[in-house]
């Protein structure tokens, strides 16, 4: 199992798709985007759910946390059942978010990867992609890494997704 953590617009999804392309075996990819897609629409912008404020701040409530926990269990079960799984996540809770995964993972081997990107560069890419609330990239760039421990860090500021993916893949095989 590979778990990538990084702020919005740091380039996690691009790295995941490149990883799936360069790794010889088939890997399943899940992430916070696919989790949010699985939620009822009303939990977006609802107390208890996930709120994307106009300034890019993201806050999540108790219902979100509870569902996230069982979702985590399910993803880990796939890995335990033999699937190769890549997860990209945004550790809004910092070390507590990492701990949530650790609790589910038990002794399952995992490669922890930090995906960094300069705050200003990520904010520019957020404008370029055009499908995100402005401000998330800057708000999350540093805070999601505080207190989190990695096996490997990549930085997309000056390095292409494909090159980052090859670096990560070299640690897998």
**Residues labelled as active-site residues:** 33
- Confirm or reject binding of residue 62 to a copy of itself (CB under 8 A): no
Short-list 118, 139, 133, 166, CA closest to 11: 118
Rounded Cα distance between 171 and 173, Å, is: 6
- Confirm or reject binding of residue 78 to a copy of itself (CB under 8 A): yes
Looking at residue 115, the DSSP 8-state letter turns out to be: E
CB atoms within 10 A of CB 163: 14
- Confirm or reject binding of residue 74 to a copy of itself (CB under 8 A): yes
- Confirm or reject binding of residue 26 to a copy of itself (CB under 8 A): yes
User: Nearer to a copy of itself by C-beta: 92 or 165?
Assistant: 165
Short-list 119, 151, 162, CA closest to 1: 151
2-10, 22-30, 108-116, 137-145 -> range binding a copy of itself (CB under 8 A): 22-30
For residue 146, the minimal CB distance to a copy of itself (Å) is: 25
Rounded Cα distance between 143 and 147, Å, is: 9
- Confirm or reject binding of residue 149 to a copy of itself (CB under 8 A): no
- Confirm or reject binding of residue 102 to a copy of itself (CB under 8 A): no
Short-list 108, 94, 100, 23, CA closest to 67: 100
The radius of gyration of the chain's CA atoms, rounded to the nearest angstrom, is 15
88-96, 107-115, 147-155, 160-168 -> range binding a copy of itself (CB under 8 A): 160-168
Tell which positions 32-51 bind a copy of itself, by CB under 8 A. Answer: 34, 37-43, 49
Q: Can you list the positions of beta strands (E) in 90-150? A: 111-116
Chain positions contacting a copy of itself, by CB under 8 A: 11, 13-15, 17-18, 20-21, 23, 26-30, 34, 37-43, 49, 63, 67, 69-71, 73-75, 77-78, 81-83, 121, 124-125, 127-130, 158, 160-163
């Amino acid at each position: 199992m590979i778990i990538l953590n990084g702020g919005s617009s740091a380039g996690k999804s691009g790295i995941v798709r490149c990883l799936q392309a360069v790794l010889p075996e088939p890997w399943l990819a899940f992430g916070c985007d696919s989790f949010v897609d699985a939620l009822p629409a009303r939990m977006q912008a609802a107390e208890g759910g996930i709120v994307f404020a106009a300034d890019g701040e993201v806050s999540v409530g108790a219902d979100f946390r509870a569902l996230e926990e069982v979702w985590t269990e399910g993803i880990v079960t796939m890995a335990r059942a033999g699937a190769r799984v890549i997860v990209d996540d945004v550790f809004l809770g910092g070390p507590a978010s990492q701990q949530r995964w650790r609790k589910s993972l038990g002794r399952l081997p995992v490669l922890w990867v930090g995906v960094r990107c300069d705050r200003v560069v990520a904010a520019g890419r957020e404008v370029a992609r055009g499908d995100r609330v402005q401000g998330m990239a800057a708000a999350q760039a540093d805070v999601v890494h505080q207190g989190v421990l990695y096996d490997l860090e990549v930085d997309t500021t000056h390095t292409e997704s494909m090159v980052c993916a090859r670096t990560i893949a070299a640690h897998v095989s």
